[in-house]
Amino acid sequence: MLKIGDVQIDNPVVLAPMAGVCNSAFRLTVKEFGAGLVCAEMVSDKGIVSKNGRTMDMLYIDEREYPLSLQIFGGEKETLVDAARFVDQNSNAAIIDINMGCPVPKITKCDAGAKWLLDPNKIYDMVAAVVDAVEKPVTVKMRMGWDEDHIFAIQNAQAVERAGGSAVALHGRTRVQMYEGTANWDIIREVKQNINIPLIGNGDVQTPQDAKRMLDETGVDGVMIGRAALGNPWMIYQTVKYLETGKLAGEPSVREKIDVCLLHLDRLIALKNEHIAVREMRKHAAWYLKGIRGNATVRNAVNECSTREQLATLLTDFVQEVEEKMELAESTAV
């Protein structure tokens, strides 16, 4: 059983934090598909400290998402601690996570994200200061190193543990790799063998079988899934069930996929406004449509939609078209 600090987590399947994706609308949907823990997209410490309006909106959590991990990023101790304290006292996040993996230059040049990976002493210092300032458990999500020549994954994870951190999530790539190559699960296993707090493995879990393999091969306490869940919360459900029973649940129908896509859309509209939500939903709609035969035209058309009505009509018409084609194929086969 995965337990982070005093937070009990029902199963080891964790939705990865993803900027521009993991807001409450998507997280709640994935939670309903059975994820043990959902992680929010990263939030700037400076944005929190200055009470920036858009940043404050990012702290919204629906109670049904519990337990949720809220990730902050920053490069300076004072603002990071102040932001963590604010989240601790003013949000219903169960866990506060610190980002030590973000590879993008805009973040690393402010000494935030993956930049920390070069200095275990800084990690100790920053994590200890945050742990001291808050009540909620503090965790860290990191990459395995900055580049091939600077892989301090074990020292960095041990620094988190010594500083009082309650868990580590480890993505088996370096900062320089960005998303290239394959994730290194050997490092994940080595880190697991060298720390005593829970380790969540991450990187390239694309199927329920991958999740099981990661658990078996590395001994991690949880598996974190990112890209495979985009437009595909069923993958989370299938993984939870597969780990429980060893059986693979079936694939959703096209209608089921579009129904969930529309639920996600309506949640996004409630969270933001229709104008923003529909634009943001275009990429999600394309992900929901992925793999459905004959989707090319509708995937392009999604990008022209600017109202709920347009997007919903487009998608429901597509479902009808697919179902009619299937009925025709079945009747001619008889």
Ligand X SMILES: Cc1cc2nc3c(=O)[nH]c(=O)nc-3n(C[C@H](O)[C@H](O)[C@H](O)COP(=O)(O)O)c2cc1C
Where along the sequence are the contacts to ligand X (CB under 6 A)? 16-21, 41-42, 71, 99, 101-102, 141, 171, 202-205, 225-228
Cβ distance 38 to 27 under 8 Å? yes
Beta-ladder partners of 72: 43, 98
Q: Which is nearer to ligand X, 178 or 326 (CB)?
A: 178
CB atoms near residue 275 (< 10 Å): 11
For ligand X, the closer CB: 118 or 301: 118
Nearer to ligand X, 97 or 119 (CB): 97
Q: How far is the CB of 288 from ligand X (least distance, A)?
A: 15
Which CB atom, from 234 or from 318, has the smaller least distance to ligand X?
A: 234
Q: How far from 305 is each of 45, 281, 286, 308, CA to CA, in Å?
A: 34, 10, 12, 8
**Token output for 284:** 């999600």
Report the nearest approach of ligand X to the CB of residue 217 (Å).
16
CB of 12 to ligand X, least distance (A): 14
Q: Nearest-CB residue to ligand X? A: 226
The CB-of-226 to ligand X minimum distance in angstroms stands at: 3
CA distance 227 to 236: 11
DSSP 48: H
Catalytic annotation, pick one of 102, 110, 261, 305? 102
Is residue 305 part of the annotated active site? The answer reads no
Asked if 286 contacts 314 with a C-beta cutoff of 8 angstroms, the reply is no
Q: What angle do helix axes 254-271 and 274-289 make, rounded to 10 degrees? A: 160
| CA dist., res. 103 & res. 45, Å (int) | 17
Cis ω before 67 (30° cut-off from 0):
yes
Residues marked active site are found at 102
